Amino acid sequence: MNSRANTHPLGGAILKCAYLMGTLVLILLCAAADAGASVDARDYPGAAWSPYFVGVAIGVLAWLTFYFSDERIGASSFYAQLAGFLGKVVTPRHTESLAYFKDKPPRVSWEFVFVIAVIIGGAIGALTGGEFANEWLSPMWVARFGDSIALRAMIAFPGGLLMAFGARLAGGCTSGHGISGTLQLNLGSWISVICFFIGGIVVAIPLFKW
C-alpha cells in the first residue's frame, strides 16, 4: 500500500503542528529569559507518606483491579473520552468518522469513573492531611516565573495538549504504561516510560536551571 498518497490532505495539519511547536519554543524562551534564580525542588514540601509504603499499596491495588474489575489502572483515556463526548455534541457525524473514535467509541467506562474518583480521592487525601492547596500557582513556579497566572496557562495548556497527543500515540500514560504496563513487563511500556522521562528531563532542565 502506498501511504504517501494518503498523507497529502494532512500536509496542512502537520504544518500547523510545526507552527504550534515553534510558537511554544518562543514562549518558552521568553519565559526562561524572564526567569528568576534557579530553584531547588527540595526546598518545597514533599510527601506526607513514605514512597515505599505508597508504592507497595499501589502495587497491591493493581492486583485488586485486575482481579475484581478485570481492568488495569490508567488515566489518559479519560481525557480522550471527554473529548469524544464534546465532539459528539458539537459535530456528531465528524466525530464518529474519526479512526480513533471508531476503534474506541467514547463511553462511560471503568476508567472514566476511575479518574473522576481519583479527583475525589486526591481531595480526601489533601483534606485529611491539612494539605489542601487552594492556589493557582505552585510556590516553586512563582519563585522561578513570577505570579502571572496567564503565563502559567500559556505553558500548562500546550503541555497538556502535547502530553495527551503523546499518550495516545504511545498507547498510554504514566499510569497505563508507567505502572500497569511496566509491571506486566510489557516491552512497549518500558520503552515508552523511559521516553517519558527523557522528554520530561530535556524540557524541565532548561525551564528551571538555565
Partner 1 sequence: MIDPGKSVQQSAKKPEPVAALPKLITGALFGLVFGFLLQKGGVGKYNVLIGQLLLQDWTVVKIMLTAIVVGMLGIFPLHHFAKVNLHIEPTRVGANIIGGLIFGAGFGLLGYCPGTAAVALGQGSWDALFGMAGLIAGSWIFAELSGWTKRTIETWGDLGKVLLPDLLPVPRGVFVVGFALALTVILMLLQQFTTR
Region 64-103 residues binding partner 1, contact defined as CB under 8 A: 64-73, 75-76, 78-80, 82-84, 86-87, 95, 98-101, 103
- Residues 153-172 touching partner 1, rule: CB under 8 A, are 153, 155-172
Residue among 208, 210, 200 nearest 41 (CA): 208
Binding of partner 1 by 26 (CB under 8 A): no
Of 10, 15, 18, 26, the one binding partner 1 by CB under 8 A: 10
- Quick one: which of 29, 30, 47, 147 contacts partner 1 (CB under 8 A)? 47
32 makes contact with partner 1 (CB under 8 A): no
Determine, following the binding rule CB under 8 A, whether residue 176 of this chain makes contact with partner 1: yes
CB of 34 to partner 1, least distance (A): 16
* H or E stretch covering 156: helix 149-170
Burial of 202 (0-12, 13-18, 19+ CB in 10 A): exposed
- Is residue 145 close enough to count as binding partner 1 by CB under 8 A? no
- Applying CB under 8 A, does 191 fall inside the site for partner 1? yes
Give how many residues touch partner 1 by CB under 8 A. 145
Dihedral angle of Cα 65, 69, 75, 81, to the nearest 10 degrees: 180
How far apart, in whole angstroms, are the C-alpha atoms of residue 107 and residue 111?
10
Distance CA 166, CA 163 (A): 5
Nearest approach, Cβ of residue 38 and partner 1 (Å): 10
Least Cβ distance, residue 85 to partner 1 (angstroms):
10
Q: Using CA atoms in the order 85, 87, 89, 95, what is the torsion angle rounded to 10 degrees? A: -110
